Structure 1
Amino acid sequence: MSSCSPKQAIFASLAEVAQALGHHHRLELLEHLGQGERSVEDLSARAKLNFANTSRHLQILRRARLVETRRNGKRVLYSLAGDVEVVSLMHALGRVGERNIAEVGRVMTDFFHARDALEPVARTELLTRLQAGLVTVLDVRPEDEFAQGHVAGALNIPIDELERRLKELPRRREIIAYCRGPYCIFSFEAVAELRTRGYLVRRLEDGYPEWKAAGLPVEVSDREPAISIRS
């Protein structure tokens, strides 16, 4: 009989999960999978990794039960193994890092806060204002990510198209921008650009995966857009 106590057995399994999170490429892959299921080839292009490395990282995540797979013809598609739990785990990791790791705090101050020092909009506040018709919600992720799921009622203008599509945005109503998550630069770039042009704009506190994990209203597009890749 094993001498390992129930508590030790649980901690051993949790340590495997923690070890799987212990690489920045795997954290980025989880962020991409938070937008929707992806093939290895797609994830490789988005994370700018070669196929072999992407596959290896995904296998580690799969062994830790952080991702799961399904077959679609000859393709293997990966997705998060429990959106709510994995997104919550990533959120908790970020909060601990921001509080306790000096380098994380420095990057947040020098890069993110320098582009947007205003307090972001909480999810509950956005939901209330969206239902009252008081704001325009702007999703600045690529079109194919928007198609897989987005905040209900959001307008999609990918960050690369923002400058030429400014006329689609209201001048007299507040705009709330969001993207892939709390460390995705797209919404910060959008807010900075729109403010220089006189728009009233703020950011959502995090991104689409957190909104979905909170059980808030989401929509899926009917049409299949061309895949657009930007990290």
Structure 2
Amino acid sequence: MSTPGPKQAIFESLAEVAQALGHSNRLELLEYLAQGQRSVEELSTLSGMTFANTSRHLQILRRARLVETERRGKHVLYSLAGDAEVVTLISALSRVGERNLAEVNRVLDDYFHARDSMEAVTREDLAERLEAGLVTVLDVRPEEEFAQGHLPGARNIPYAELDQRLSELPEDTEIVAYCRGPYCVFAVEAVAALRARGFKAVRLEDGFPEWKAAGFAVEAQAAAC
């Protein structure tokens, strides 16, 4: 058998990456890891998969060099192997799917567009509004994800707590909500709930990982001593 040439060798390696992406559960795990480091136990809880299935999917992602590990005591923590590159790769996959796949567009129309027909705010537009002090940025992800990284000056009110914490939000300033990514429903639901209560609210076009991958400034909470 002849040895594959350089191009074929590269294509074979790229195919391994593509195969690692070829499962909905693994794409979901990558979205969770785009928020910050997670243990297998945490990822299992978030995804609803068994510990064994979660570990198996993570090993496939690790072999493709999409995730990496760090041991802390008895725990092994997973993170993206190159945040910007992996997030950009997933974003490119999303754009191709939205352009070519009818099912993707059906879900977008039936849920996202039906719930929020207003145009989402772009990253560039939000950066300008932030600099001018014209908006309040609302992060509706869980507190532990917010602590690992968030948009500058963002307020963290997890979506599940929004109804009980509306008094923390200004009524005279536009609110821009964001969550884990473009398909995360928390921001869509938060904006709908805020508008129903008289707030002026819109959502960011995607989420924290895409904002960070694009090179915009981020903040993180200092770890407790």
Counting only pairs closer than 5 Å after superposition, residues 40-119 of structure 1 correspond to structure 2 as 40-119=40-119
SS in 2 for 1:79: strand
Structure 2, unaligned stretches of length 5 or more?
none
The one-character-per-residue Cα deviations of 1:68-97 (angstroms, maximum 9, x if unpaired) are 001101111000000010000000011111
**2:113 and 2:51 mapped to 1: Cα distance?**
34
Q: What number of residue pairs does the alignment pair up?
A: 224
SS in 1 for 2:177: strand
Runs of 4+ in 1 over 4 A off after TM superposition: none
Cα deviation for residue 122 of structure 1 reads: 0.6
Instruction: Give me the TM-score of the superposition, normalised by structure 2.
Output: 0.98
Task: Say whether residues 1:17 and 2:17 are aligned partners.
Answer: yes
> Structure 1 CA distance, aligned partners of 2:95 and 2:117?
18
Q: Hey, what's the Cα distance between the residues in 1 that align with 2:152 and 2:40?
A: 28
| Identity across the alignment (%) | 70
The alpha carbon displacement at 1:2 in A equals: 4.9
1:194 and 2:199 equivalent?
no
User: What is the CA RMSD across the aligned residues, in angstroms?
Assistant: 1.0
SS in 1 for 2:119: coil
Unaligned ranges ≥5, structure 1: 225-231
Whole-angstrom CA distance in 2 between matches of 1:111 and 1:183:
10
- Structure 2 SS opposite 1:70: strand
Instruction: Measure how far apart 1:198 and its partner are.
Output: 1.0
Distance 1:166 1:92 in 2: 36
1:132 CA drift (Å): 0.8
Q: Which amino acid counterpart does residue 122 of structure 1 have in structure 2?
A: T
Residue deviations 1:100-129, cap 9 Å, x none?
A: 000000000001111111111010110111
Q: Give the C-alpha shift of residue 215 in structure 1.
A: 1.3
- Once the 2 structures are TM-superposed, how far is the Cα of residue 13 of structure 1 from its aligned partner? 0.4
Correspondences of 1:1-231 after superposition (within 5 Å): 2-222=2-222
SS at match of 1:150: coil
Code of the residue aligned with 2:28 in structure 1: it is E
Please give the secondary structure, in 1, of the residue aligned with 2:71: strand
- 1:3 deviates by 2.5
Kindly state the Cα deviation for residue 222 of structure 1 after the two structures are TM-superposed.
2.5
The 2-side partners of 1:217 and 1:115 are apart by 30
Amino acid at match of 2:67: V
Question: Equivalents in 2 of 1:49, 1:204: separation in Å?
Answer: 29
Q: Which amino acid aligns with 2:40?
A: V
Q: Secondary structure at the match of 1:183?
A: coil
> In structure 1, how many angstroms separate the alpha carbons of the residues matched to 2:16 and 2:146?
32
CA distance in 1, matches of 2:211, 2:202: 16
In structure 2, distance between residues paired with 1:204 and 1:34: 17
- 2:216 aligned counterpart, secondary structure: coil
